[in-house]
Structure 1
Amino acid sequence: MKSDFQFSNLLGTVYRQGNLVFINDGNTLISPVGNRVSVFDLINNKSFTFPYEHRRDVAAITVNKQGTLLMSVDEHGRAILVNFKARIVLHHFNFKSPVKAIEFSPDGHYFAVGCGKILQIWRTPNVLEDKQFAPFVRHAYYTGHYDDITSVSWSGDSQFVLTTSKDMTTRLYGVDRDRMDEVRMTLGGHRDYVVNAFFDEAQEVIYTVSKDGALFRWEYTSDPKSKEDEYEEEDEEDRSTDEDGILQKPKKPESWRIVARHYFFSHSKLKCAAFHPKSNILVVGFGNGEFRLYELPTFTLIQQLSMGQNSVNTVSINASGEWLAFGSSTLGQLLVYEWQSESYILKQQGHFDAINALTYSPDGSRVVTAADDGKIKIWDVLSGFCLATFEEHSSAVTSVRFAKRGQVLFSSSLDGTVRAWDLIRFRNFRTFTAPERVQFGCLAVDPSGEVVCAGSLDDFQIHVWSVQTGALLDSLAGHEGPVSCLSFGQEGEAATTLASASWDKTIRVWNIFGRSQQVEPFEVYSEVLAIDMRPDGKEVAVSTLNGQILFWNVESGNQTNFIDAKRDIQVGRYSDDRFEAKNSKRGKCFSTISYSFDGLSLIAAGDNNSICLYDVKNSVLLRKFTVSLNMNLEGTLKKLNSKNLIEGGPIDLLDRDGENSDYEDRVDLKLPGSHRGDPSVRNIKAAVRVTSIAFSPGASSFAAASTEGLLIYSVDDSVNFDPFDLDIDITPASCLEMLEEKEFLIAVVMSFRLNERYLIHRIYESIPLNEIDLIVADLPKVYVERFLRFIGELSLESQHIEFNLIWIKSILAAHGKYISAHKFEFSVATRMIQRFLARIAKDVVKTSVRNGYLAEFLLDTRTQQDSIRIEEEKLTL
């Protein structure tokens, strides 16, 4: 099995904090998620997460208008510049102060950064320029604000910058160094700090929005209240003359002045605002979850909606002005709303609490997660989106398992129920309970889906139910401590074997369908935290509290192997630790393990910062993965910085909410939280850990439920070698030339490389029927999915039904195994083919029925004509 797994995506969370950004095409949305950045393709229904990590949570992001450069800045001002197309990190830079606002200029030559109270304008790194000592060169440095800058906004011609601040003012700066002092202007008048400021499309009007719900409109004009007499008394020497020598009246001094004031009159504070200059649409979000759309300059209310009871932290408008993106950090909610049709384009939300368990579907296309918030979410691996959410559980969900066919999902919870979910109709069709109300901490499902078992934390028994009737079949007693984990075999006779482990330091193997339930326990020298049975059912692996992974033979009951994992686990220091990381006993064990489908590899993780991949046969560590580099989490640092340790304790653990300037930020309405411990102990920072881990059915990827979210690691098989025409200039003329020379395979490959639909269509229909099987057999696998999708799109409008069916049959016969092994990659193409076949089947049935009667009529008519002709011949004779 391959071990070169790489981080591929982050699921389970869609937004944490910071601003949302639309790329200039208007179809792609970028969202900061913790210390990473995720990208959502709203047209193709896909998402991905950049592989790089920040040292802190991301505070602000921006993308240039060309869509080639992405810059993200964390809470401490460390920035990363990324090539958006190639997903490669170009430069690291430290602004050395917190950054709350950053934005590229429309022409892409500069970017403006609000570093605390100071505005800095930097030149965008360019490979075409001469070699420089540093990639970032500062163009201008502006001061003037007395408090932190909240937003930065550029004019359409990239010549002016607007900044807003908590000092209740808006300032206008010029990019041109020669006119800095002439342009600089301060716009005051608000009674609360200014949230944002915008130019209109003609750059003749400035709009400023403050937190108290006030909107001011500014225009560059003279003071209408000034008296003309003051200017008539001036000396004639100071007056200017026109061409005829006539004295002119001096002009009144012009400046930016308020020409209109509007108020939103909301019961909650205004949190964010965005303006679309082309359509003059203003969108504002409030602290109670309400958002409104206004048309300026008339200040006409267009729509007023709500996305929940929690505040709207950020809003963004795409280039066309049709889609609005909203983010709420309290619930981790992300919405994309089309205001003209009043419909949601995207509505995603992650888990509110920590993820407890996960499982893969049998085909590997979906991942199901369960969390402390009582919710179960189904995630599509390819797209990265949540497909469904179940909320029937009233307490934390502890485990989830699929039945073998993947149409039924089971879940156990601390509310004392085990529920069965129908994934075709997306409903709860069965609920299992024990005779007494107990908490279920683990779950196992018979591969046939007939029996479901759950282990109790209260009465130390394993309860067995029938899925069809919902009746309690048996209660397996024997453990003297809480049942921590259960596991079924997956193949053959092992499918009836259930392995259980407990805190009483024993492992028991049960034959569910046997007559006798007397089992001999396997003695372990420490508490068992996790268990997993090899798919063939002949071996069981357990992880213990003393940091060992033990392997037992199920038939003989003998221990066959062990791995001492304490040396492989990477443990970091907590902020209040008084000892070094190497002396820490915290997290020196694995709390979750999983076998690969062939049983040759085992992956393990726990309450630490390590994910370890082992070779079971040789007991060797193949690979170790670091869960997170986020310094906002406890346990990610090996050494602590002494400057963060003061007399009152670590600086990071001090509660500074009482020093905030805003009342809603000072008030803490949350209950004291804890890390699975005493509820009276308050922890400010979350700790890095992995609560559940699982291999995909094909072992091409694995998923880990961590503090950051659901991490997906997969083998990178996107780079496939294509041996065709490496030295030939591929042009439409050369494609047609190959077609004339009857080099059909080369012509097909060249046309797909050019990706011209008309050319592919022409070559496709020019291939003879007797050449189809040969071409398909030699077709490189990199083109199979594209070819099948092309046929699916073409067949819906093509009249060559039999010709298309022959192509489809040949592709499925030649590459069927490859398609079945990569089902989720071919999902779009196969759906198109299914739709084509369904349409053809209906048409063929209708045509055959209609032609059947017509054929009978024609045959009867011909018979009658033959009989008439015979009678006429007889009469002639």
Structure 2
Amino acid sequence: MAAEDRPAKQPRLDPEAEAANVIIQLESAEGQQAGPALDVPHSVTPQQLEVLLNGLLQNEEKTPYSFYVEGQELSGELGEHLKKQKVSVEQSLRIVYMPQAVFRVRPVARCTASMPGHAESVLAVAFSPDGRRLASGSGDTTLRLWDLSTQLPQHECKGHRNWVLCVSWSPDATMIATGDMNGDIWLWEAATGKPLGQCKGHSKWITSLAWEPAHKALPSRRFVSGSRDCTLRVWDANTRRCIYSLGTHTMVVTCVRWGGEGLIYSSSRDTSINVWDAAEGKLVRSLKGHGHWVNTLALSTEHVLRTGAHDHTGKAPKDPQEGMQVAQQRYDAVVKGQPERLVSGSDDHTMFLWTPAASKSHIARMTGHVQLINQVTFSPDGRWVLSASFDKSIKLWDGVKGTFVATFRNHVGPVFQVAWSSDSRLFVSGSKDSTLKVWDVRTRKMMVDLPGHADEVFAVDWSPDGSGVASGGKDKMLKLWRH
């Protein structure tokens, strides 16, 4: 082609011109450009773009990526995608890339164990940060620890005198904190199930528990509790003493989270979200915007805060110093130099996305649910947010911008809880309709329907090592689900 025939500017894309090239600019979700604009053929595939991008970023180890054009994932040839989505290209086409987990979690497909033992409803289930053990709290006032290799009960922990509402593992997997309906908190040794002691101070039931992250302190020592008595308390797990009490909420504290930047977050029925300095217990700022009770909070870093120094295989350094460094590296890899994001869900059917360390103004108001929001949770990579609602649906949102992505409908009752697989590709939901369902984020479809419980499913968790899902509910049965 002679120089004079060559167009000076990239022409508007003609869907029929299959042989024409298209100029693309690869960018990260944060807007950082990867190299110069590139002239690529229409037939370019995500696999070829991945090879190209790994070269541009000079990645020593090949990283898998997914690619998005105007929010839609590219699944085949670029030209076909542009035609199908009716995207016209004036100058250059912006393609956003997202790193994917190097490992893959297989969807759970069957119940491998139904574990009786609890005499009342199972109200909380939680896998340990290394994925090797499981803890369950119940209305029968006990905490039970289960051996996942034999699928048998390991320890029955007695001490509470009322329903066990919250179960929280320390990030180093050595201790478990439990909170009950009387306002009592117990600490247990994870290896033996022996009681380490009681934390007394709250006068009404415990709504939420959260530990200080591993990159801030190892071995784990401090944790925070929220209660219906309108206060938060920060405790020393070694002495079981209250270090300080935080009391500016005027109504029930519904949820507490301990962030990775030295901040503690609390939500309340007084419609506010408070941000506290974890070192001194001072109020940093109050986030306002919700018109009704705030029920639930989630952090963009919650998966890495939960697992600490443990990788997706459950391995972690034995030395606390090295463990803190590994936990810090894992944390840094998720935040990528950006401030931690917080999402809140409310009885007013809305959600807000915040960056509390940077501003008291919200990034986005997220609307769409038509009944109250039970739970919100970020994907392990911080890319997505899920919300579970009484309106029987689950909604998927962009975790950076707060924009709506998709609705997942198949449950015929309120959705109580959702849990992500550690590779951020799948999630599982538990509902009042007695079923669990496994969903695929990329296809936006249900993969597996898991009936089996005889009644409402209150609690569900996906093991951090990806090996399986645990669920519990009104039928007093704990079930394990595997591939």
Tell me: CA distance 1:217–1:208, structure 2 relative to 1, closer, same or farther (3 Å): same
Which moves more between the two structures, 311-320 or 166-175?
311-320
Partner amino acid, structure 2, of 1:151: C
Does 2:344 align with 1:212? Answer: no
Shift of 1:40: 6.8
The CA distance in 1 between the partners of 2:120 and 2:386, in whole Å, is 19
Partner amino acid, structure 2, of 1:69: M
Q: Is the 8 A contact 1:19 1:31 kept in 2?
A: yes
- Alignment counterpart, residue 105 of structure 1, candidates 212, 221, 237: 212
Shift of 1:103: 1.3
The residue aligned with 1:148 is 252
The residue aligned with 1:369 is none
- Alignment counterpart, residue 288 of structure 2, candidates 188, 209, 214: 188
The CA distance in 2 between the partners of 1:192 and 1:384, in whole Å, is 33
- Alignment counterpart, residue 118 of structure 1, candidates 231, 235, 238: 231
The CA distance in 2 between the partners of 1:121 and 1:269, in whole Å, is 29
Q: Deviations over 1:793-835 (max 9, x none)?
A: xxxxxxxxxxxxxxxxxxxxxxxxxxxxxxxxxxxxxxxxxxx
Shift of 1:161: 0.5
Q: Deviations over 1:820-868 (max 9, x none)?
A: xxxxxxxxxxxxxxxxxxxxxxxxxxxxxxxxxxxxxxxxxxxxxxxxx
Task: Kindly report the root-mean-square deviation, in angstroms, between the aligned alpha carbons of the 2 structures.
Answer: 3.8
Shift of 1:162: 0.5
Tell me: CA distance 1:192–1:283, structure 2 relative to 1, closer, same or farther (3 Å): same
Q: Is the 8 A contact 2:287 2:360 kept in 1?
A: yes
Tell me: CA distance 1:112–1:59, structure 2 relative to 1, closer, same or farther (3 Å): same
The residue aligned with 1:58 is 164
TM-score (norm 1): 0.31
Tell me: CA distance 1:175–1:299, structure 2 relative to 1, closer, same or farther (3 Å): closer
Shift of 1:327: 3.9
The residue aligned with 1:271 is 374
The CA distance in 1 between the partners of 2:221 and 2:198, in whole Å, is 18
SS at match of 1:102: strand
Q: Is the 8 A contact 2:436 2:450 kept in 1?
A: yes
- Alignment counterpart, residue 178 of structure 2, candidates 68, 72, 75: 72
Higher Cα radius of gyration:
1
Q: Is the 8 A contact 1:60 1:99 kept in 2?
A: yes
Q: Is the 8 A contact 1:18 1:314 kept in 2?
A: no
Structure number with greater CO (CA < 8 Å, separation at least 6) is 2
Does 2:151 align with 1:46? Answer: yes
Shift of 1:51: 1.4
Shift of 1:93: 3.8
SS at match of 1:313: strand
Partner amino acid, structure 2, of 1:294: W
Does 2:194 align with 1:82? Answer: no
Tell me: CA distance 1:344–1:319, structure 2 relative to 1, closer, same or farther (3 Å): same
- Alignment counterpart, residue 257 of structure 1, candidates 356, 361, 370: 361
Shift of 1:34: 2.7
Shift of 1:16: 3.5
- Alignment counterpart, residue 294 of structure 1, candidates 387, 392, 397: 397
Partner amino acid, structure 2, of 1:103: A
TM-score (norm 2): 0.54
Partner amino acid, structure 2, of 1:112: V
- Structure with the higher helix share, 1 or 2: 1
Tell me: CA distance 1:213–1:314, structure 2 relative to 1, closer, same or farther (3 Å): same
Shift of 1:70: 1.3
The residue aligned with 2:105 is none
The CA distance in 2 between the partners of 1:345 and 1:50, in whole Å, is 32
Tell me: CA distance 1:350–1:100, structure 2 relative to 1, closer, same or farther (3 Å): same
Shift of 1:206: 3.3
Q: Is the 8 A contact 1:37 1:49 kept in 2?
A: no
Gaps of 5+ in 2: 1-113, 215-219, 301-334, 457-467, 479-483
The CA distance in 2 between the partners of 1:272 and 1:199, in whole Å, is 12
SS at match of 1:308: coil
Q: Is the 8 A contact 1:77 1:96 kept in 2?
A: yes
Q: Is the 8 A contact 2:363 2:402 kept in 1?
A: no
The residue aligned with 1:162 is 265
Counterparts of 1:19-418 in structure 2, within 5 Å, are 19-26=124-131, 30-35=135-140, 36-38=142-144, 46=151, 48=153, 50-53=155-158, 54-94=160-200, 95-107=202-214, 108-116=220-228, 117-125=230-238, 135-157=239-261, 159-177=262-280, 180-181=281-282, 184-200=284-300, 201=335, 202-219=338-355, 255-263=359-367, 265-276=368-379, 278-306=381-409, 308-317=411-420, 319-322=422-425, 324-328=427-431, 330=432, 339=441, 347=450, 349-352=452-455
Tell me: CA distance 1:295–1:710, structure 2 relative to 1, closer, same or farther (3 Å): closer
Counterparts of 1:410-429 in structure 2, within 5 Å, are none
SS at match of 1:184: strand
Q: Is the 8 A contact 2:157 2:193 kept in 1?
A: no
Shift of 1:170: 0.3
Shift of 1:47: 5.2
Does 2:116 align with 1:11? Answer: yes
The CA distance in 2 between the partners of 1:385 and 1:119, in whole Å, is 29
SS at match of 1:283: strand
SS at match of 2:204: coil
Tell me: CA distance 1:193–1:124, structure 2 relative to 1, closer, same or farther (3 Å): same
Number of residues paired by the alignment? Answer: 306
Partner amino acid, structure 2, of 1:74: D
Partner amino acid, structure 2, of 1:32: G
The residue aligned with 1:491 is none
The CA distance in 2 between the partners of 1:349 and 1:14, in whole Å, is 18
The CA distance in 2 between the partners of 1:193 and 1:13, in whole Å, is 32
Q: Percent identity?
A: 17
Partner amino acid, structure 2, of 1:99: I
The CA distance in 2 between the partners of 1:33 and 1:332, in whole Å, is 17
Q: Deviations over 1:727-781 (max 9, x none)?
A: xxxxxxxxxxxxxxxxxxxxxxxxxxxxxxxxxxxxxxxxxxxxxxxxxxxxxxx
Q: Is the 8 A contact 2:252 2:268 kept in 1?
A: yes
Q: Deviations over 1:468-521 (max 9, x none)?
A: xxxxxxxxxxxxxxxxxxxxxxxxxxxxxxxxxxxxxxxxxxxxxxxxxxxxxx
Q: Deviations over 1:192-236 (max 9, x none)?
A: 211223444333543322222322233469xxxxxxxxxxxxxxx
Q: Deviations over 1:383-407 (max 9, x none)?
A: 9999xxxxxxxxxxxxxxxxxxxxx
The CA distance in 1 between the partners of 2:399 and 2:440, in whole Å, is 19
The CA distance in 1 between the partners of 2:470 and 2:271, in whole Å, is 40
Gaps of 5+ in 1: 1-8, 126-134, 222-253, 354-382, 387-706, 712-877
The CA distance in 2 between the partners of 1:14 and 1:165, in whole Å, is 31
SS at match of 1:288: coil
- Structure with the higher strand share, 1 or 2: 2
